[in-house]
A and B are shown apart, each in its own frame.
Chain A
Amino acid sequence: MDKIGVLVTHKPLPYLEQELTRRGCRLFRLWESPESRRLEFCRENSSEIRAIVGNSNFGADAATIDALPKLEIVASFSVGLDKVDLPKCKERGIRVTNTPDVLTDDVADLAIGLTISVMRRIPSADKYARSGAWKKGEYTLTTRFSGKRVGILGLGRIGLAIAKRAEAFDCPISYYSRSEKPHPNYTYYSTPVDLASNCDILVVACALTEETRHIVNRAVIDALGPKGVLINIGRGPHVDEPELVAALVEGRLGGAGLDVFENEPHVPEELFALDNVVLVPHVASATIETRTAMADLVLGNLEAHFLKKPLLTAVV
């Protein structure tokens, strides 16, 4: 990939940066420009930029694509492509790749981990155990996870991996999807509200599209109810965040485990005082093992493209 100009939208994994450089790419570091200057930065370097490495925060929107006439491929360091203007890429003949499968396990692991952490209040247990306030014989009642009904929005790769894990905890599995899937052990519900009415823990595991924006709205939150728990390892905009915050603060929703937010890294401060909420900074794929595998996929896709070989994980 000698001398190929690659626009990197976010601070990359050191391994990825090293490898791109080692293979001869010329890197243009978009994240180092202030937001207001970013389009200008693209235009200034447009004669060289033939590839974008984007992520879940910044992919390739219409304005960026328009500013880069030599752009041939967008290799996203993510599985979600809500930040890539796919129709525009199709129109321009720009290839788009993502990082499916390699992060499925991590995301599913975290979904279950967040669920247990919320229901058993592990962060506040940790705080309490460190505080010196723990008195002999005192205990805090939390609530059991095993056997609770788990409802999954979206039964794709990640949804299925979550279901597989939850089954090992004897949790009955139900789901909502655009269409029913051939899983006789899992109960299908044709609307998110029906799903939420019939589960104790609702997990968001679908792609973010026009249709699924705010799929978790007031009605779904009400249906989940004061004992229900919401787990979001999808995208912030899947959930109507102000409604979620109000429901948690007012006790109309039992708890939440959130990895994503509508306007990262902003997290509604009203949540900070709640101990029935666990908040993590978009870390569902954030392990050394998985990020390295994601980097390898990005590198593999870029190399395949510039060597005119079939792409590894093309979406467009």
Chain B
Amino acid sequence: MATTTCTTNTPKIEEKPKVLVLQRINAYFEGVLSPHFDLIKADESSLPIPAFLSTHCRHIRALLVMAPIGTFGSSLLDQLPSLGLIACTSAGVNHIDVDACRKRSVAVTNAGEMFTPDAADHTVGLLVDVLRRVVMADRYVRNGSWMLIGDYPLGSKVSGKRVGIVGLGSIGSHVAKRLTAFGCPISYFSRAPKPNYPSYTYFPNVLDLARESDVLILSCALTDETRNIINRDVMIALGKDGVIINVGRGALIDEPELVRCLKEGVIGGAGLDVFVNEPEVPEELTHMENVVLSDHRAVTTPESFKNVLELAIANLDAFFSGKPVLSPVSC
């Protein structure tokens, strides 16, 4: 039998759950999250991280990771013995040691599908801009060349190009839907064929996919299996008019080899939003006219950020209520 005891103290205000943040958090993110959670910000402490963790974080159950920078693995997990969730606001989780987390029963959540429309849009934008030379043509106009020299050289038609998608997940399938409307036949390589997409042609390996494609779209996760999945052989198979669009991770491509293949005309062009060692961009690429480069901005829109934060809050709320999280990373 429980009796309610009245105390003379003020009723305890329900505390917001504590969420650890090791990276610098921007004002917008903080503004959205702080009404829901007590953000424990390591970078505001004068203590170095290890001391901060051992002093303040023994009971921390949730960690928020925003930028996909750095590594979050065993040595960190060892210092967070109560951790049960790493909530990421990125789509890619190659910076998280997902295996180590699984072994310690630490759930990992990511951006789910929140970034998908923007990533797919940016992919199509990069493709049109490479084939139709939009960026270079824009420069041509702005530097007065249209007046002085005359017509700009011809580009290459987008509609009808054979598109090969490496990784037919959320982003890949949204790219496929968009490019289908451009009359592009779609093929793909994935770990297994996708019965949901009978009109797309499955290839069991990237080499065969490249041989039968004019364009390769990289939209898969970076794992040990997919590191350097685009190598010289694949680029030779793609051919001298072939174009690669990468909105996944830089390390999906053998970057020095890509630069060589572009220089030598082994492939025709590339649209790259990601690089192996951001923000470093291989210097030779910066002089090429048959490439379009962007600063890892495939998903940086207010719409994406709002949605990904709502999802992060939902994941954290579910976790703290003992419910299943919404966007767990599949191992």
Interface residues of A (CB under 8 A from B): 11, 105-106, 108-110, 112-114, 116-117, 120-123, 125-126, 128-130, 132, 134-147, 164-165, 167-170, 264-267, 272, 278-283, 286-291
Residue from the list A141, A145, A165, A287 in contact with B181, Cβ < 8 A: A165
CB-CB contacts of B165-191 with A at 8 A, as 1s and 0s?
000000000000110111100000000
CA distance A114 to B126 in the complex (A): 11
Give the 5 A-B residue pairs with the shortest CB-CB distance, closest first. A113-B128, A116-B125, A168-B181, A105-B159, A146-B117
* Minimum C-beta distance from B121 to chain A (A): 5
Which chain B residue lies CB-closest to A105?
Answer: B159
Given contacts A129-B286, A272-B142, 15 further A-B contacts (CB under 8 A): A105-B160, A117-B134, A117-B138, A122-B294, A129-B295, A130-B281, A132-B286, A142-B297, A142-B301, A143-B303, A146-B117, A168-B181, A267-B146, A283-B132, A286-B151
Contact A287 B180 (CB under 8 A): no
Contacts of B157 in A (CB 8 A): 105-106, 109, 287-290
Say whether, besides A125-B294, A129-B293, A286-B152, A136 and B138 are in contact (CB < 8 Å): no
CA distance A120 to B127 in the complex (A): 13
Contacts of A144 in B (CB 8 A): 117-118, 121, 301-304
CA distance A106 to B155 in the complex (A): 10
CA distance A137 to B303 in the complex (A): 19
* Minimum C-beta distance from A106 to chain B (A): 6
Contact A129 B128 (CB under 8 A): no
Contacts of B312 in A (CB 8 A): none
Residue from the list A134, A167, A279, A282 in contact with B142, Cβ < 8 A: A279
CA distance A110 to B297 in the complex (A): 21
Contact A140 B300 (CB under 8 A): yes
Which chain A residue lies CB-closest to B301?
Answer: A144
Interface residues of B (CB under 8 A from A): 67, 69, 117-118, 120-122, 124-126, 128-129, 131-135, 137-142, 146-147, 150-152, 154-160, 177-178, 180-183, 278-279, 281, 285-286, 292-297, 300-305
CA distance A264 to B120 in the complex (A): 34
* Minimum C-beta distance from B310 to chain A (A): 15
Which chain A residue lies CB-closest to B127?
Answer: A113
Residue from the list A137, A167, A287 in contact with B155, Cβ < 8 A: A287
Say whether, besides A113-B132, A287-B132, A140 and B295 are in contact (CB < 8 Å): yes
Say whether, besides A120-B297, A144-B118, A168 and B178 are in contact (CB < 8 Å): yes
CA distance A142 to B300 in the complex (A): 6
Contact A109 B154 (CB under 8 A): no
* Minimum C-beta distance from A132 to chain B (A): 8
